[in-house]
Structures are given as structure tokens and as C-alpha cells.
Amino acid sequence: MPGMVLFGRRWAIASDDLVFPGFLELFLRVLWWIGILTLYVMYRGKLDCPGGALLSSYLTVLLVLLAVIICTVLAIVCVSMRGTICNPGPRKSMAKLLYIRLALFLPEMVWASLGASWIAHSVHCDKAVVNGIIATVIVSWIIIVSTVVTIVIVFDPLGGKMAPYSSAAPNHLDSQESSQLLNGLKTAATSVWETRIKFLCCCIGKDDHTRVAFSSMAELFSTYFSDTDLVPSDIAAGLTLLHQQQDSIRNNQEPEERISHSPGSSQEADLDAELENCHHYMQFAAAAYGWPLYIYRNPFTGLCRIGGDCCRSRTADYDLVGGDQLNCHFGSILQTTGLQYGDFVHISFHDKVYELPFLVALDHRKESVVVAVRGTMSLQGISQAARYVYRRLINDGILSQAFSLAPEYRLVIVGHSLGAGAAALLSIMLRKSHPHVRCYAYSPPRGLLSKSLYEYSKNFTVSLVLGKDVIPRLSVTTLEDLKKRILRVIAHCNKPKYKILLYGCWYELFGGDPDNFPTELDGGDQRDLTQPLLGEQSLLTHGSPAYSFSSDSPLESPSKYPPLYPPGRIIHLEEEGTSGRFSCYTAQYTAKWSHESEFNKILIGPKMLTDHMPDILMRALDSVVADRPACVSCQAHGGAHVDMV
């Protein structure tokens, strides 16, 4: 549903978004009205005191005013429950009701102010009566302030009478004016998103690198969201419907359809060995996060274990570079990896947007020089971060120093999340000088490598993905696909939004049968969709003579972005059955080799974000490796380092 237009501008709220806030206000207002009525009935005989007539008048008028407000809010709720997301026709009276509701705030504010003044200066009545009136005045102002805060939240700085990138918007302009208008809107959208990102990341420094990262992130977000006229609740409803639709399709598949094709028997044979390697090197990837992750994973004992290191000074003896709380980081790294102080060649917690922390250590158990890279905050900065680490390793002689201590060791590069992407690119850069390099990328982003580099990286890179983790499925192309699927499922849903969200909350918390909630339009309901989403008319052309199919339809046109791929061969840890909607501790996983095509679509689910967390991934790896007896023998041989050709 396009955002509502009030006072000549678009707001980030739709006419069907007022059911839940309306019910909340209705509940509070009715309770408040009953309380005031009870107060008036119980104490009206005690209002013959000085100023009592004022209090009696105040309560009487307040009761009438609240009754009018309750009736108005009830009308707003009833109207908001009508229609569907793409059929706002039954809610056309909503704007008038909101104008009436907002107008009622003026007498409410005046009356609350008068009540406060009378209580402060003119009333000398029973204390219980006075306290009751004070309570009503306080509640009045709380509701008024809450309303003002809500208005600020739903204010859209880019708001106008039409969607910013509506295809119909510039029709009356010539091409040059249209281009100037769209460029201006894009600039404004980028500026707004940059302000939002800066607000969310207010604790990060304000150097040039940070500003560049903020600008690039803002451009990405504004480009993705600008050509739709969806409000946030529409997106939430679309994600809810997609999850149910996705589960329904999966439930209706035949068992053999769910079996993915193995990359080959030779790769299947070393799955156990590579799982053991992934399990081992994940400790280094986690160590690169420093003490915050260690304390998070060990909330009761972590601080005691590294407290001594935090108070100790070893900066003169060990190569610690930049950053705060270096010794706390070092202590957590020692606890996580189980190595000794002398096993570390270099540790850097110098932390800027494109200059990220990393460590270099000698892993005697696997006979490897391990480079562990921490994540970066910017998707577009992964390559810059990889080049920064590369320059440090080569130009500062860090790798030379490491291999002078252990010339027979093999180079292994690891990282988690965006650090996995940087590690994968770094391994490609170092492949020529270190032909036996291995890379273990944990939960890497999908939109990273070209097709040729993806095939090349299979020779030395293994990626590990847990469950429905969104990051390994995240790229500009998959985001575009997700947006198309959201628009399609919203346009084809014949249920009001409040029912979608209510059922969705129940489904996410307690599960259920997704087939019990239809998402496709019945033939007889299609004619009711009289007001389609702006910019997405082709979604609603079925049976509607007002719109026709177009080759320029954003839902049918191919992506304008080149396909990008995750690094290397992929091990997927898939959850077995259902262990509770949010249970991450009792879940059981199976490991398999997977093709990159299995990650070319974002999957919706309650664990799509938690599956990306490093502690959840480590717990899943512990469980999988413990359940695979074959991996016990891998430890005795130091794991397998096989270059696939």
C-alpha cells in the first residue's frame, strides 16, 4: 500500500497500519475513561470544596472529550481493517478520520493544560480527588507526547504526493527535466539514507574513510528501496507471506526433489577432513573478533579468564599494533585458540572502515601459518580491506617473518562474514606467491566473485554456510529478486495486513501449517484491486483492463547487474527437522557439499539472522564434528590439505 498522503505529503505509514496502534490506544482510552468515571462517581459528593466546581467541570468535559476520541479511534480501527494491501479503496475515508483525530488533540492539550493550572493554584479539595485529577493530567500529557513521537517516527523526509520513482511521475516533463528530477530525487534519497546510517553508527569515527563507507552504503540502500512505494509494514507482511509460501512449497516437494546434486565423489570423500579443518580454523576466525565475542560466548567465566591479561603490559615484547584494550584482545585470542604467546607473529587491532584487524599465528598442530581476518562494515569495502591486509603482509614483511620461523608450513587464510570475503580475495592475491595457500571462509557474502574467479577459487577455498544464513545469499541480484518476490506476493494476497501480521507472528513463534493461509488471489477477487502499487502495475494486470503487460516490467526484466558468486566449494550445514522456532541450542545439523545455485535466493525464516552469528556457527560445527566418527581419524593425521584441480 502506498504511504498515506496527509497535509500534502506522503508519510511512511499506510492506511491499514493503524489497527494495532489503534487497538492499543482504544484499550488505554477505555480504561482511562472508566477510571475517570469511577473517580467522578465516587467523589462527586466531595467536590463542594473551594475549587471543586472547576474539578467537576474538568472531569465532566474530559469524560465527554474522551468519549468522542474513543468513537473516533474505533472508527479508525474499523476502517483500517478493511480491504487488502493493494486494495485501499474501502479505506478511502481514513484521511478524513485522521484529520478529525488530530484536530481532537487541540482541545485535549488545552484541557490538560487547564487541569494542570487548576490543580496547581485553585484547588483545595480532598487529597484523593486531587491525586486522581493529577493522574489524569499526567496521562493526558503522556499520550500527547507519545503521539508527537509517533508522528516524528513516521515522518518521511522524501515524502511527496507520489512515489519518488513512480513511472507516472515525470510524464508531463520532457526527457531533460525528467532526468534532472530523478537525479535530484536520487541525491535526496542518498542524503536521507546517509543521515540514517550515521545516526545508527554514531559511535564510529568521522574520518574520510568512514564518510566514504557511509556514502557507499547510503547509495546502495537508496538504490534498492527507491523504486517502490512500500511502507515498512508492507515489507514485513511480504516477508511473512514469503516464509509461509516457501515452507508450503518445501512441504509439497517430493523427497527426491530435495536432494541436491553432489559436486562429485572425489569432493564427497574429503568432506570429513574439510569439516575437521573448518572446525579447527573457526577458532582463529572467532579470535579475530577479540574480547567482545569471547565475553559473549563465556558470560560467566570469560572476564575472569582474561582479566589478568587486561591488566598486564606486553606491548614491548609482542607486535601489537594500534587499537584500544590490546591486551584484553590478546588474552581472549590466547584463550580461544589455545596457542602460546610465542606462536603469534603479528596481531593488529588497528581498526578503521577499510583497515581492519587481523592476526598471524603459527599453528603447530596443523603445521600452518594462519592469517585470520576480522570483518568489515561495508560490502563495497571488502576488496579495499583485502588489499590493505595484503600490503601489510607483504610490504611489512609479516609473512616473510612467519615463514622464516616455519619454512615448511602452509599458508591458511580464514575469516567470518565480511571478513570471510576479504580472506577469500586475499587468498587469490597470495595464490601466485604461495601456490599451496588454503582459505576457509565462514558465512561469506555471495556477491563477491565473477564466474571465472569462482571456478578458480574452488582449487583452494572452502566456504561454510549454516542453515538459512542470509549473508551467503546476499548480493545485489538476490536483493533485487527478494524485492520482486515481496511485491508479487503482496499484490497476490487477498488478506488484510493485520491478519497477515498476526498469523505471521504466531507462525514464527509456534509454527503451523503454511497451507492454511492462502496467498494467491481467487479469480473473483481480482477485479477489486483497483489501486495497484506505484511502479509495479504489471503485477496486477491479470484480468484488469486498466493495465497491460509491458516488456519494461520490473518483475519480468532481467537483472541489470552481473551475476556474482560465493568463494570456493561450499559445505552447507542443514538443520534436521524442526527443533523449535527459535531454538539454536538443540538443533541438529547434517553436513553436505552444495552447489552455489542453492544459495542464489534469500530464504526467509526466524533463523536467517541468528544462523550468521559466529557463536551459533561454532556450536553447530562442534555438534556436526562430534557426530561424525570419521573426523576423529582426521585429527591424528593433521587434517587434509588437498588441492583440487
Residues comprising the chain, all counted:
645
Q: What is the DSSP letter of 449?
A: B
Give kind and range of the element (H or E) at residue 242: helix 232-252
Record the cell numbers describing residue 456, joined without a space. 578458480
C-alpha grid cell, residue 490: 503482496
Q: Strand, helix or coil at 590?
A: strand
At residue 237, what is the residue type?
A
- Alpha carbon distances (Å) from 86 to 172, 196, 224, 499: 26, 28, 21, 14
User: Does residue 50 contact residue 123 with C-beta atoms inside 8 Å?
Assistant: yes
Q: Of 531, 603, 481, 567, which is closest to residue 224 (Cα–Cα)? A: 481
> Phi first, then psi: what are they for 37, rounded to 5°?
-60, -40
Catalytic option among 15, 332, 368, 417: 417
Phi-psi sector, 264: left (phi>0), alpha (psi -120 to 50), beta: left
**Catalytic residue among 469, 538, 594, 611, which?**
469
292, amino acid identity: P
Task: Identify the helix (H) or strand (E) that includes residue 508.
Answer: helix 497-510
Q: Is the dihedral of CA 494, 499, 501, 503 positive or negative?
A: negative
Helix (H) or strand (E) holding 411: strand 410-416
Residue 586, SS3? coil
Q: How is residue 534 written as a grid cell?
A: 506505484
**568 backbone dihedrals φ, ψ, rounded to 5°:** 65, -165
Helices H / strands E in the chain, number of each: 21, 11
Active site residue 457: no
481 is annotated as an active-site residue: no
Q: Give the residues across from 368 on adjacent strands.
A: 363, 410
- Measured in Å, how far apart are the chain's first and last C-alpha atoms? 53
Cβ count within 10 A of residue 562: 10
**Based on the number of CB atoms within 10 Å of its own CB, is 269 exposed (0-12), middle (13-18) or buried (19 or more)?**
exposed
User: Could you identify the residue written with the cell 514469503?
Assistant: 242
Q: What share of the chain is helix, strand, coil (3-state, %, to 5)?
A: 55, 10, 35
Cα gap 2→486, rounded to integer Å: 14
Give the DSSP letter of residue 299: T
The two most distant CA atoms of the chain are separated, in Å, by 99
Three cell numbers, residue 238: 511480504
Residues labelled as active-site residues:
417, 469
